[in-house]
Amino acid sequence: MKVSEYHKQGLKNFIEEEPQGYEKLGEAKEGVHRVACYVKYEDDKIVDAKFTASKRCKKLLAIADYVCEQLKKGRKEITEEEILQFFKEEKDKEKLKARFNLVKKAAGL
């Protein structure tokens, strides 16, 4: 999938401000890019995940949204290979890897 196609489907987990009733997993910054991940628990299970991010990079937004979707499914391990495979139609693999590393830090993966 291309990042642009992912965006056309709509980002389900992007929020402008820190959400109430959520626990902050972490935050990561690199240059102008920043991302923070939040989760909501019920009975020690993640029931929702959200993220805030700088709006400069569509790759960062798409990867963070994808990771939040996986967290909501109970996944705690998401690999670089999985991200590269999911967004396999993207040409700039190094940028995907760099943005995933930011999201990985913010999500505590």
pLDDT at 55: 82
Domain count, the chain: 1
Per-residue pLDDT reduced to its tens digit, 51-106: 999 888 999 999 999 999 999 999 989 999 999 999 999 999 999 999 999 999 99
Specify the CATH number for the domain of residue 48. Answer: 3.90.1010.10
For 38, the domain range is 3-107
pLDDT at 51: 98
Q: Please give the mean pLDDT across all residues of the chain.
A: 95
Q: DSSP of 32-66, one letter per residue?
A: TEEEEEEEEEETTEEEEEEEEE-TT-HHHHHHHHH
Q: How far apart are CA 63 and CA 14, in angstroms?
A: 11
pLDDT at 85: 97
Neighbouring residues of 37: CB distance < 8 A, sequence distance ≥ 6: 24, 25, 26, 27, 49, 50, 51, 64, 67, 68, 71, 103, 106, 107, 108
